[in-house]
Structure 1
């Protein structure tokens, strides 16, 4: 039986878009949800990290319990925007000189289980830099949804020993078919 590659983009996507996840404090989440796009107090002057892995963000935000990450947003972006970001990306392992001028940073971190354990394959994290952040917010983003109630319910189920019920609340993710040039660029196996 063949094993899956360690470095694959897994995501919830369709022919037009891909869903990425971010965690924010209430002020940023509420403003974005009201406007249907990112607006102040969202910072357009710093890198923002997007993650297509729901469980990796749950690990990072402690299921919406980490201070400043109490709201979980599903951000729908165009596939063209996603692939443009990846085409402009530099791997964080490339070193400081390569990263200094990069519009986008990419790093691979161990994927996580629902309980936060590191798995034997990796999840991609994409950092959109200041030079591209307006494009991300104004052109690529097509919708923003608040997943916080679902996240809190799933966390309670997991904590209560009902992981199977919690899994039904998780977004579906499958391998995202990257063009071969992007696979090579991102150092996937």
Structure 2
């Protein structure tokens, strides 16, 4: 974590990221029915959902913390630990599993030494396994940094990841 970015546990008065989240909650009218959208926004702003952030959302929406935590843990898109610079999600739903999704996971793990639910030591790659991403017609489905990729071999997916990880990222100016 950089010195210029407060920790996710910093009080809302100190951490400007809470202001961004507050803007989203206000726009949505602090609606309890907007919890999923608010959690997505929180993860986008903070990079993950630490317990302190879930508690903050619960207080602001006047919801029991158990309900917020229950929703956050139900959906595979949410992470409770910091994610890597790039995220690779492999669908493990039945159609994808039948079409070699497990081989994709194994090839990624063998090549990059990262198992599902882990982030590489250098912080560049997080690998996730999902129950179903809803794109069964494209099986096997892999999502790399929000790009849905279907019907590719384990070798092709590993090749895409190798190219991505070797490409220097543009620095925002």
TM-score under structure 2 normalisation?
0.24
Answer 1 or 2: which has greater strand percent: 1
Larger radius of gyration: 2
Structure with greater contact order relative to length (CA < 8 Å, sep ≥ 6): 1
TM-score under structure 1 normalisation?
0.23
